[in-house]
Structure formats: structure tokens, C-alpha cells
Amino acid sequence: MKVLLATSKPFASQAVGEMKQMIESAGYQFEKLENYADRTQLLVAVKEANALIIRSDIIDREVMEAAPGLKVVVRAGAGYDNVDLEAATLRSICVMNTPGQNANSVAELVFGMLIYLQRNRFDGSVGREISHKRLGLYAFGNVAKMVARIARGFSMTVNAYSPILTPDDLRKEGEYGVVPLSSNKELFENSDIVSLHMPLLEETRNCVNYDLLSLMPCDGVLINSARKELVVEEDLIRIMEERPYFQYITDIMPERHEEFLARFPKRYFSTPKKSGAQTSDANVNAGLAAASQIVAFFRDGDERFRVNNKS
């Protein structure tokens, strides 16, 4: 069995070393294609792969067709919008993710970016504190839970709305101490800072629009550590034009990055490259989870973290 680690954004070398060791001690071959710049390199590298470990790398029909022996793809991370699930199902390929493994890393970045912008990039001018502000979590998965936990340390009030959980479900997650809300409107209306934590699905694409954003306070802050496609960029630009104190903080550079930068140089911040999961800790957690899921898949047929339908 050949396991290929194919990541255009490489893992920490410690993570790669530990993954290699785990795969090889299970008796499989480990190969890597890291830091590739050209998709044709990926198409060549997958040729003999039976298993793939990836990050945000696009795994579509073309890649699957180039890998006739492919049986399993593990997205070392949470979001799998980069994998064509239907194409995988058609070819009897199992697709899995590693939920929760990089959640704390993303959550810490949320606060890093938030404080950085509230303190005006540490330029010495008068900034704002986050303590006692109302933080709204849009969705309540693994990252949102970590954000809620950290927010309590800052004495923030944490509101949460989930499109898939009821307020009663949220109430049962008592350890996170969130105030459960029953609609996204209520969330935006009652939060000074809204942090997005939903996956990119057809139902969530473009879900943050003008109507929702206009419910926030005039000096509201929107944080996006999830996916750029969740936000209607032109609506956000309109809100920021209308509200001279509104801020946008993102770990996923928007399509209209240059425009945001030119129009709102002090109220807009984007990381130059998505950095949420880019810590050695998260790399080790997600990488080893991916490696062990592949071993369990081949050895025991374990498909516990499968995200696509079976054919």
C-alpha cells in the first residue's frame, strides 16, 4: 500500500516524521509531495497512491482519475469542501476528515487577530479591549467551542447560534457557558463581534449578507477564520462604507483583498496566507490522526470519520 502525503502548504517536519513512522511501522510505503506549486506535479505523484493525506489541496475528478488505485483520502483538518465527494463516491473512494485536531490552533488565531486589530496593529494609538464585549459564534463546532472557552477567560459574553443545533442542544453544552440564540438574526443583533465557524456548504455559501450585517452595532467586528465564500464581499464593503467603525478580520484573503485594503486600511486585516491551522501542535495532531485513520481503514475497514456517501 502506498500512502502519499500531498500538501501544497507543508506540515511541520516533526509532524511529517511522525506520520512516516506510523505509516511505515504498519507496513505501508510512505511518500510525500510537499510544497508543490504546480498541479501537474500532484497528478503525476498520485499515480500509484492507494491513500492520500491532504490539507486544502483540491482533490477533484481529474486527480481521482489519475490515481486508479486510490481507496481513501484523508483531509488532515476539518473542512472538506476541497474534495469532490460525489466523484469519490462514484469511484468507491472513502473520504475522511480529522475533526477537532486543529481546532485550538484556529481558535487561538481568532484572538490573536482580534486583539491585533483592536490595538490598531500596536501602532501606539488608542485601542479597544475585548473584555465584557458580546461575542457571537455563528455555528458551534469544534473551533467555536475552543473560541468560547478562551472568550470566557477574557470575561466576554458568548452568544451562539447553530443552524444544526437547537437552543436546547446548545444549553446542554453547559461547560462552554454560551447564551443559546435561536436565529442568525438574533445573533448578529446581539453581538459586538461575530465569529464565523460554519463549513462551506451550498446552504452556507454567501450566508453573511447585507441584511445580517446591518443588524450589528455600527462599530461591529466580523471575524472569519472559516471560508471566504461564506461572506458576500460586496455587501460587506457596502456595510464598511456606511459604517466608519465597522471592522473585518479574516484568515482567508477575500477575492477583493486589494479593494478592502485600499478602502479600509485601518479597519481591515487579512493574514497573507491562511494560518489558522499552521502550528506544529495542530500539524502533529491532524497529521497523526490522518495517518492512524488510514492504518485503521486498511487494517480494520474503519470508516468512522467518513464524510462521503458509500456507492
Q: Which stretch binds ligand 3PG (CB under 6 A): 151-159, 171-179, 212-220, 273-281?
A: 273-281
Minimum separation from the CB atom of position 306 to ligand 3PG (A): 17
Question: How buried is 311 (Cβ within 10 angstroms: 0-12 exposed, 13-18 middle, 19+ buried)?
Answer: exposed
Under the criterion CB under 6 A, does residue 99 sit at the interface with ligand 3PG?
A: no
Q: Which stretch binds ligand 3PG (CB under 6 A): 39-47, 111-119, 163-171, 269-277?
A: 269-277
Minimum separation from the CB atom of position 252 to ligand 3PG (A): 8
Under the criterion CB under 6 A, does residue 195 sit at the interface with ligand 3PG?
A: no
Phi, psi dihedrals of residue 150, rounded to the nearest 5°: -70, -40
Q: Rounded CA gap, 18 and 148, in Å?
A: 31
Under the criterion CB under 6 A, does residue 250 sit at the interface with ligand 3PG?
A: no
Please check whether residue 88 is in contact with residue 94, taking contact to mean a CB–CB distance below 8 angstroms. Answer: yes
Question: Considering beta carbons, is residue 79 or 180 the nearer one to ligand 3PG?
Answer: 79
Q: Rounded CA gap, 230 and 233, in Å?
A: 9
Local structure of residue 245 (DSSP, 8 states): T
267, 268, 243, 273: which is closest to 256 by C-alpha?
A: 268
Question: Considering beta carbons, is residue 223 or 237 the nearer one to ligand 3PG?
Answer: 223
Question: Considering beta carbons, is residue 190 or 278 the nearer one to ligand 3PG?
Answer: 278
Instruction: Name the residue number minimizing CB distance to ligand 3PG.
Output: 77
Residues across the chain: 311
Around 299, how many Cα atoms within 13 Å sit in the side-chain half-sphere? Answer: 11
Phi, psi dihedrals of residue 104, rounded to the nearest 5°: -65, -35
Question: Considering beta carbons, is residue 261 or 307 the nearer one to ligand 3PG?
Answer: 307
Under the criterion CB under 6 A, does residue 145 sit at the interface with ligand 3PG?
A: no
Q: Which stretch binds ligand 3PG (CB under 6 A): 37-45, 121-129, 258-266, 270-278?
A: 270-278
Minimum separation from the CB atom of position 234 to ligand 3PG (A): 24
The amino acid present at 80, given as its one-letter code, is Y
Minimum separation from the CB atom of position 119 to ligand 3PG (A): 25
Question: Considering beta carbons, is residue 181 or 284 the nearer one to ligand 3PG?
Answer: 284
Q: How far is CA 28 from CA 42, 75, 194, 294, in A?
A: 20, 19, 45, 10
Binding mask 3-42 for ligand 3PG (x = CB under 6 A): ------x---------------------------------
Among 73, 274, 291, 308, binds ligand 3PG (CB under 6 A): 274
Torsion angle defined by CA atoms of residues 33, 93, 283 and 229, in that order, rounded to the nearest 10 degrees: 100
Question: Considering beta carbons, is residue 102 or 191 the nearer one to ligand 3PG?
Answer: 102
Question: Considering beta carbons, is residue 109 or 114 the nearer one to ligand 3PG?
Answer: 109
Return the CA Rg of the chain.
Answer: 20
Secondary-structure breakdown of the chain: helix, strand, coil percentages, each rounded to the nearest 5: 40, 20, 40
Question: Considering beta carbons, is residue 56 or 190 the nearer one to ligand 3PG?
Answer: 56
- Within 50-79, the residues that bind ligand 3PG by CB under 6 A are 55-56, 77-79
Please check whether residue 136 is in contact with residue 194, taking contact to mean a CB–CB distance below 8 angstroms. Answer: yes
Q: Rounded CA gap, 84 and 271, in Å?
A: 27
Binding residues (CB under 6 A) for ligand 3PG: these are 9, 55-56, 77-79, 102, 274, 276-278
